[in-house]
Structure 1
């Protein structure tokens, strides 16, 4: 596959667990709680050094999925990708909660060919046809990453909060659009639908460009995969976790890397 250097670097970054990166991938809606007749939100998508500023590369949205409260898919409107960010609009025709997310499931392979290293990235479905069966010193890994956010029109609903049972996912025990400063919120992390035990969770409030410390909140999931956080103040927050195991869907792959990120808005009391 021939790719520009910028896209190649971004592709490699998105295949690593998010905790291993200095750069942070995120989706940021213009607001998360709205009311009215067919309101809209604008969403910025980027991979940046600072939260939530556009100063590295855009987040690619080829695998963007917007799920309406009734489970149907919604098309993004007015999409555009610039040097530092992707931006798109979402019309909220239904009452309830929408999930907006980018899910990438990639297989990465590297091998030696005529004394030179070769690298390949693609989907598990295309691996068998695009990677030589007799590749020398073949190394294969799989990466599943999710970058998500939630927005609600009117009264919150829970239809889109159900997981797929595949990869690393967040189960919101406290509704993601019902978060307030000074109040606790509870979540569960799952891997393939089962509680993810002992995962490290990092939460960072936006505006890191204008403070000397990241002020990270670091937590760990319990035996039930759950964790709780009391929000110190209002603002947009970036929540990240990652894991790895050997439960790949590609027989040649020895390792599966899992990453999850969600942007949450915490409102003042």
Structure 2
């Protein structure tokens, strides 16, 4: 009996440790103050961005939102105003001049690499170049993209058209019209080509109040598409990476390019 009790306690401890590790992951996100605006007056949306342990909690550091763009209902893309960076979050106010759905996108390319010098492996990133005499130089470009969405008065699909570049989610269901219990359909593609059997996940906000991630893991079909029943109402963070589940760490050969994608959207009550 005592051994069984000890085994149960150990299992609980391991499970809690796994939750703690998962909860401590730092995730970058952008979130609008609202995803649906209904007004006949001048309309604005505020986008906050941060990197945090708790989703949508300003508990670590601000997200650098240089290069933020806005794609309007007509499909035209323009630079967003400069964001204000605070201690724990960044924030930007964006004017919405016409009715329809908008996509707010943050993209970044970061170079990372390693080299050997005098028998020792060293790492570098950005514009830093390996010193003279360096050997076995290896580089990986990290291509990152984040999206969030907002609709003014009536939804549209002009802003949802794919760019055909990098890893992206094509929203076949409007991301501002998602309701719990209904079915949503998304497609994932890389440089315009559908990604079959591609994994992605959804995590709802409010992790600190639950004590668990409540992550939903999904996979696309042979056409790179996934249809799934929408979970309970909340703000959600969707994430995906390519190559999926690629090994990392010292001594592991890295691909020339790695892609990451995330999106924030709201699931409304039924």
Fold agreement, TM-score > 0.5: yes
Could you tell me the TM-score, scaled by structure 2's length?
0.81
- 1:53 and 2:52 correspond: no
Tell me, in whole angstroms, the C-alpha distance in 2 between the residues paired with 1:111 and 1:221. Answer: 37
Q: Give the count of matched residue pairs.
A: 238
- 1:91 and 2:114 correspond: no
**What SS class does the counterpart of residue 159 from structure 2 fall into?**
helix
Please state how far the C-alpha of 1:118 moved relative to its aligned partner: 4.8
Tell me, in whole angstroms, the C-alpha distance in 2 between the residues paired with 1:75 and 1:258. Answer: 23
Please state how far the C-alpha of 1:72 moved relative to its aligned partner: 3.7
- 1:265 and 2:266 correspond: yes
**What SS class does the counterpart of residue 237 from structure 1 fall into?**
strand
Please state how far the C-alpha of 1:112 moved relative to its aligned partner: 3.2
Pick from 121, 124, 129: which aligns with 1:120? Answer: 124
Tell me, in whole angstroms, the C-alpha distance in 2 between the residues paired with 1:117 and 1:80. Answer: 38
Q: Relative CO higher for 1 or 2, CA cutoff 8 Å, sep ≥ 6?
A: 1
- 1:35 and 2:38 correspond: yes
Please state how far the C-alpha of 1:114 moved relative to its aligned partner: 5.8
**Partner in structure 2 of residue 183 of structure 1:** 182
Tell me, in whole angstroms, the C-alpha distance in 1 between the residues paired with 2:233 and 2:110. Answer: 35
Q: Name which of structure 1's ranges 68-77 and 101-110 shifts more when overlaid on structure 2.
A: 68-77
- Is the radius of gyration larger for structure 1 or structure 2? 2
Tell me, in whole angstroms, the C-alpha distance in 1 between the residues paired with 2:162 and 2:133. Answer: 38
**Partner in structure 2 of residue 26 of structure 1:** 29
Deviations 1:6-28 (A, max 9, x none): xxxxxxxxxxxxx9x92111100
- 1:155 and 2:154 correspond: yes
Could you tell me the TM-score, scaled by structure 1's length?
0.81
Deviations 1:130-169 (A, max 9, x none): 5568641201111111111011111111111111211110
**What SS class does the counterpart of residue 208 from structure 2 fall into?**
helix
- 1:135-214 aligned within 5 A: 135-214=134-213
The answer as to whether partners of 1:96 and 1:156 remain within 8 angstroms in 2 is yes
Q: Name which of structure 1's ranges 134-143 and 190-199 shifts more when overlaid on structure 2.
A: 134-143
Please state how far the C-alpha of 1:185 moved relative to its aligned partner: 0.5
**Is there any run of 5+ residues in structure 2 with no aligned partner, and where?**
1-21, 247-253
**Is there any run of 5+ residues in structure 1 with no aligned partner, and where?**
1-18, 247-252
